[in-house]
Amino acid sequence: MSSYNGVIYGVIFCLISAAFDVFVAYLTQSINSAIVIFYCFISSTLLFMMISIFKGIDQLIVKVRKNTLLVLIVNISILLNWGGLIISLRFLEPAIVGVASVACGPAITILLSSFIDKDEAKTEKLEVVISWLVLIGVGVMLVNTFLGNSGLSSTSTQDRIIGIVSVIIGAVGTVLYTISSKKLFKEKWQTYEILSVRSILMVILSFCYISLSDVSLSLNIDLILPMLILVAVGHLLPIYLVLKAINAITPLHISLLFLLIPVFTILFQYLDSRIAFSVESLIAASVIVSLLIILGVSKIKKTKGYNEV
C-alpha cells in the first residue's frame, strides 16, 4: 500500500474519531462508560473473528502462538487507549482530550520505539526538543483544565483528576498500539487478524466489571439507535481505517497525522450544549498544534533529504 493511501485513510479516521469523541462525551452522560466499551469491542471482536475463521483460523492460531507477547502488548495498549479515552471524555472537554491524546504521541513514540522497534526510532535533535516542548505544553494545558479553565467547568475536582489521568493513560496506549501493530504487520499479519484478537482483554475486563457491579447491559429504547451508530460508524469503521494507515506509514507520521483530531474536535464539540467556548483551550490547542506542525515539517524535510542521497 502506498503512503498516499495511508494518509487518506488516516484523514478519514481523524474526521470520524473527532465526531466519535464528541458523541461519546455526550452519550456517556446517559450510559455507563463500561457499557459503551463492552458493546463496541464485543462487536468488533466477533465481526473480525468471523472473518478470520472464514479466511482460515489455522493460520491465525499459528501467528498467535508465534507472536504471543506482541498480541498481549496490543491487548494492553487497547485497554489503555480506549479505556482512557472513553473515561476521560466523560469528565473533560473533548478538545482537551483530543489535543492531549495525540500531542503526546511524537514524544512517547520516540521513547517507546527505542525499546520496541529500533528501526522506527531514528530521530534528530530538533524532533526530540519539539516533542518534549509539546509534552510540557500539554502539562500546562492539563493543569489549566484541573483549575477549571476550560469549556467544561461544571465537573468536580475529583472528576477532573480522573479525566486527566485517563487521558494520559490513553495517550500512552495510542502510541503503544501504533508501534506494536506495526510490528505485527512486519510479521505478516493481516488487518482483520489483528482486529480479531486485539480487544479480547478489553471485552473480558469490561464484562467482569459489569457483572460485578450494579450496571445493566440492557439499554433504554431511545439509546439503542445511538449505540448502533456508535458501534458501526464510530468504532468498527475507524479501527479498520487506522490499521490500514499504520500499515502504510511510520508510527511518527501516524502521530503527526493524528493532529487533525483535535482540530476537527474543536469544530464538532460546540454541537454539545454542555461545552462553552474557551479561549484558554483554543490558545493551548493552537500553540501545541503549531509546535507539532513544525515537527512534521522537520520530519518531511529529513525524509526528502534521505531520498535525495
Task: Tell me the angle at which helices 94-103 and 279-308 cross, rounded to the nearest 10 degrees.
Answer: 30
For residue 197, the model assigns a pLDDT of 94
Give how many domains the chain has, as a whole number.
Answer: 1
- Single pTM value for the model: 0.74
The residue range of the domain holding 56 is 3-307
Separation of alpha carbons 115 and 170, rounded Å: 19
CB atoms within 10 A of CB 76: 16
Separation of alpha carbons 71 and 198, rounded Å: 7
Separation of alpha carbons 217 and 40, rounded Å: 13
Cα-trace Rg, the chain: 19
Taking the alpha carbons of 210, 33, 144, 127 in that order, is the dihedral positive or negative? positive
CA atoms within 13 A on the CB side of 35: 20
Taking the alpha carbons of 90, 95, 100, 101 in that order, is the dihedral positive or negative? positive
Query: Do residues 138 and 104 lie in contact, with contact meaning Cβ atoms separated by under 8 Å?
Result: yes
- Name the 3-class secondary structure at 193: helix
Separation of alpha carbons 176 and 180, rounded Å: 6
Separation of alpha carbons 278 and 170, rounded Å: 23
Tell me the pLDDT of the chain (309 aa) as tens digits: 566 777 788 888 888 888 877 777 777 777 787 888 888 889 989 999 999 999 888 999 999 999 999 999 999 999 998 888 888 888 888 878 877 777 776 666 666 655 555 555 455 667 677 777 777 877 888 887 787 777 776 778 888 899 889 988 988 888 888 888 888 988 989 988 998 999 999 999 999 988 888 777 877 787 788 888 888 887 788 878 887 887 777 766 776 777 777 778 777 777 766 677 777 777 777 777 777 777 666 666 665 554 444
Query: Do residues 178 and 101 lie in contact, with contact meaning Cβ atoms separated by under 8 Å?
Result: no
For residue 309, the model assigns a pLDDT of 43
Write down the H helix ranges in the chain.
3-27, 33-66, 68-91, 94-103, 105-116, 125-146, 157-186, 191-197, 200-212, 221-229, 237-248, 251-257, 260-269, 279-308
Grid cell for residue 243: 490499521
For residue 61, the model assigns a pLDDT of 93
